[in-house]
Amino acid sequence: MRKPSNVSDRKLLLIVCAVMLVLIIAVSVFAPEAAVDDPRPTTTNSGPHGAKAAYLTLQSLGVTTTQWSRSLHAFQSSLTEAQAQRTTLILAAPDYDATQAKHLADEVKQFLERGGRVLATGPSGAALLPGGDVKSAGLLHAGLCHTTPEGPGALARAGSVEMRESAQWGSDGPQYRVEQRCGNDAVVVRYSVVGGSGIKGEAIWWSSAGPLENAALKHDADLRLLLATVGDGRTVVFDESLHGATKTLWDEAKGLPMGWLALQAAMLFVLLVLSFGRRRGPVRFPAALPRSSPVEFAISMGDLYEKAAASSAPTEAAKRRLLRMLTHEAGLAQSAVEDGPEAIAEALRERLGGDWSRLSEHLHEAARAQHETIAMHSALALVRALSEDAKSVRARLEPQAAAG
């Protein structure tokens, strides 16, 4: 069987890479663009009604801005008392179910009572503010209007802005300061919210999110109103969790060219299989299975020793293991080991106590086996005896180590 050449492999790789490059370019050119008529004032919407320009403009001016896509409860939990007093939360035209209104309003109220600042727009935003209430816009000013500043407040000093008046502020009381009007209708209102510990937060309401949308932010008055609303030295958080239903991972993937991406991934998988999965030749079984069992190896070595009548090798190995253990583990001096079996037995008696004459006899027998041929069963018995001597020494050493 002829082996594939490296040239054909490289050619296949180049062809697959070229096809993937063409697919990527085609997807980039022909993929549908994002809808330009998205009415939601989100920080990712670059259409006329989006808030992407406001988000980027605040960043370029040195304002710390973030996006929040989790629940308002999680937002509350993530802030300390000091952080809440330096944070402005923007609820631009929030979208939520009626069943969520009370829970969301409680979260907003707690944030305000901790010293936070909230900008809410539209009727849905007013419903989340403490005491927030709206009523229908006056007949003369319903729709788009140029506001009239009222009073010396910072929001009024921004000047006249373009505002789509879908509703007017309906709550009465001296605590509600009207900053901008469309005729007699209050369309920009601010007021303080005092918590139980005396900390004062501030709620701001706009009739619509128009002044912070991409199409309107080019006007100086709209930008000044936004800057006066968020305040100086504050972190600005754009809430994205209330701009429609919570999206799943599959929802986020909608609109992407998933078919093309899947095709590219499949082709890449095929490329990997072809590159690393092919065999270089036919599959053949070995002529004979290798016999590598440890037991068979031990038996074979025993047969060789027996045929050669080499009884001295195992006994000498066992003796050397015992002497090495006596010096390294039992702590006997090298000079005592070199003086012979009697000196070793005496050193062990002084070191560990007890009678070690049997160990001395076994060492004498091992020394004789170096010069005399003994039967294999006698050599085996001697090796076992030397191993038992080593175990006896270790058994005496363990209580001493535990006591030490």
pLDDT digits (tens, 9 = 90+) for 78-96: 888 889 999 999 999 998 8
* pLDDT score at 140: 59
CA distance 43 to 33: 17
* Averaged pLDDT score across all residues of the chain: 81
Tell me the Cα Rg of the chain. Answer: 44
Q: Residue 150: pLDDT above 90?
A: yes
Q: Which has more confidence, 197 or 156?
A: 156
Q: How confident is the model at residue 144 (pLDDT cuts 50, 70, 90)?
A: confident
User: Average pLDDT, stretch 376-381?
Assistant: 80
Amino acid letter, 254: K
User: Average pLDDT, stretch 378-382?
Assistant: 82
Residue ranges, CATH 3.40.50.880, the chain: 52-252
Write out pLDDT tens, residues 277-315: 555 555 666 566 555 566 666 667 666 666 655 667 778
* pLDDT score at 65: 95
CATH architecture of 52-252: 3-Layer(aba) Sandwich (3.40)
Query: Which tokens go with 121?
Result: 């727009």
Which of 15-24, 262-271, 318-327 is modeled with the greatest confidence? 318-327
pTM confidence score: 0.54
* pLDDT score at 4: 47
Question: What is the enclosing helix (H) or strand (E) of 193?
Answer: strand 185-194
Which of 15-19, 174-178, 390-394 comes out lowest in average pLDDT?
15-19
* pLDDT score at 3: 46
Per-residue burial over 265-286, b = 16 or more CB atoms within 10 Å of its CB, e = otherwise: eeeeeebeeeeeeeeeeeeeee
- Taking residue 94's Cβ as centre, other Cβ atoms within 10 Å add up to 24
CA distance 291 to 285: 15
Cα dist from 164 to 95, 135, 143, 212, 227, whole Å = 18, 15, 5, 12, 19
Report the SS3 class of residue 205: strand
| Alpha carbon of residue 339 to chain centroid | 67
Report the SS3 class of residue 166: coil
Q: What are phi and psi of 243, to 5 degrees?
A: -115, 60
Which residues, in sequence order, are bridge partners of residue 235? 87
* pLDDT score at 351: 84
- DSSP for 29-47 reads HHSPPPPTT-----TT--S
* pLDDT score at 192: 94
User: Average pLDDT, stretch 225-234?
Assistant: 92
Which of 32-36, 60-64, 273-277, 384-388 comes out lowest in average pLDDT?
32-36
* pLDDT score at 245: 46
* pLDDT score at 278: 55
